[in-house]
């Protein structure tokens, strides 16, 4: 769809899939891929009726980070080129984080650098047993991008984030789960099926409820208790007054499964 070259974008009713598609280059993030991720994220954000987005990758790697060869090719203009790439990547991540549909990230292999950062963005993160995670930025004289300096301390705490960013240990899938980076670890050959099953489950939920959960959690670290509770009160009242809220209430009373739009 939409003439993508470095990713595959598909939609099946209420579920869309974004697949990084540079397997011969370890799905390294190029300026073109970042721009295409931004376009795909915008499509997901504005698509009527879409409830779930699955982000995964083709081949043995999830994403080995920024494409260093492309960076080197820019010569003295590398700073400007990397800033442009980061801007597109950050636009995509912001959209994916704030869109109404839930985001499932299925990490199928190595997630390094920007790949590590991208994995953190999911509302649900699945990792294949063979997946591994490393920040790797400082090994190349770089520093983190792709939202990791925002999400990582919130997920694992400051001390762990410092260790991961400065010492660059490689975590296996179980270690990533135990640190709270990953929701579930699944067998390699079951990763896509598990992602599809979770997507189907989330596609039955209320789009409005999912969106409010995402908004509340994004706000929770910045708000005071009272501000957060006021936001909760406003959001839950809006949900209750919505068509989905009315359907959910009536279904609960009737002891039947709700049928959300």
Instruction: Domain 7-203: give its CATH superfamily.
Output: 2-enoyl-CoA Hydratase; Chain A, domain 1 (3.90.226.10)
DSSP labels for 1-43? Answer: -TT-SSEEEEEETTEEEEEE--GGGTT-B-HHHHHHHHHHHHH
Q: Say if CB 181 and CB 131 are below 8 A apart.
A: no
Q: What is the CA radius of gyration of the chain?
A: 19
194: nearest Cα among 88, 67, 11, 56: 56
Spatial separation of the C-alpha atoms in residues 86 and 84, rounded to whole Å: 5
Q: Say if CB 180 and CB 156 are below 8 A apart.
A: yes
What pLDDT score was predicted for residue 261?
87
What pLDDT score was predicted for residue 89?
97
What pLDDT score was predicted for residue 2?
67
What pLDDT score was predicted for residue 69?
92
pLDDT tens per residue across all 261 residues of the chain:
568 999 999 999 999 999 999 999 999 999 999 999 999 999 999 999 999 999 999 999 999 999 889 999 999 999 999 999 999 999 999 999 999 999 999 999 999 999 999 999 999 999 999 999 999 999 999 999 999 999 999 999 999 999 999 999 999 999 999 999 999 999 999 999 999 999 999 999 999 999 999 999 999 999 999 999 999 999 999 999 999 999 999 999 999 999 998
107: nearest Cα among 130, 126, 129: 126
Spatial separation of the C-alpha atoms in residues 42 and 45, rounded to whole Å: 5
What pLDDT score was predicted for residue 58?
97
pTM over 0.85: yes
CA distances from 116 to 25, 65, 199, 229, 236 (A): 16, 8, 22, 32, 33
């Amino acid at each position: 769809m939409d003439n993508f070259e470095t990713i595959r974008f598909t939609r099946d009713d209420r579920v869309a899939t974004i697949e990084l598609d540079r397997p011969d280059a370890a799905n390294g993030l190029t300026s073109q891929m970042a721009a295409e991720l931004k376009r795909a994220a915008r499509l997901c954000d504005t698509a009527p009726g879409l409830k779930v987005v699955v982000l995964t990758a083709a081949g043995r790697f999830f994403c080995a980070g920024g494409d260093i060869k492309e960076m080197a090719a820019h010569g003295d203009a590398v700073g400007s080129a990397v800033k442009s790439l980061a801007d597109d990547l950050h636009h995509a991540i912001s959209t994916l984080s704030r869109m109404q549909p839930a985001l499932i990230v299925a990490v199928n292999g190595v997630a390094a650098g920007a790949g590590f950062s991208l994995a953190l963005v999911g509302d649900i993160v699945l990792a294949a047993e063979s997946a591994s995670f490393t920040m790797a930025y400082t090994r190349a004289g770089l520093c983190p991008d792709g939202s990791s300096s925002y999400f990582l301390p919130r997920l694992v705490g400051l001390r762990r984030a410092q260790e991961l960013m400065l010492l660059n240990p490689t975590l296996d899938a179980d270690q990533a789960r135990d640190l709270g980076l990953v929701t579930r670890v699944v067998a390699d050959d079951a990763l896509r099926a598990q992602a599809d099953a979770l997507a189907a489950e989330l596609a039955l939920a209320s789009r409005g409820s999912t969106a409010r959960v995402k908004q509340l959690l994004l706000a929770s670290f910045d708000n005071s208790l009272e501000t957060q509770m006021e936001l909760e009160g406003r959001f839950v009242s809006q949900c209750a007054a919505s068509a989905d809220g009315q359907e959910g209430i009536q279904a609960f009373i009737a002891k039947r499964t709700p049928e959300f739009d």
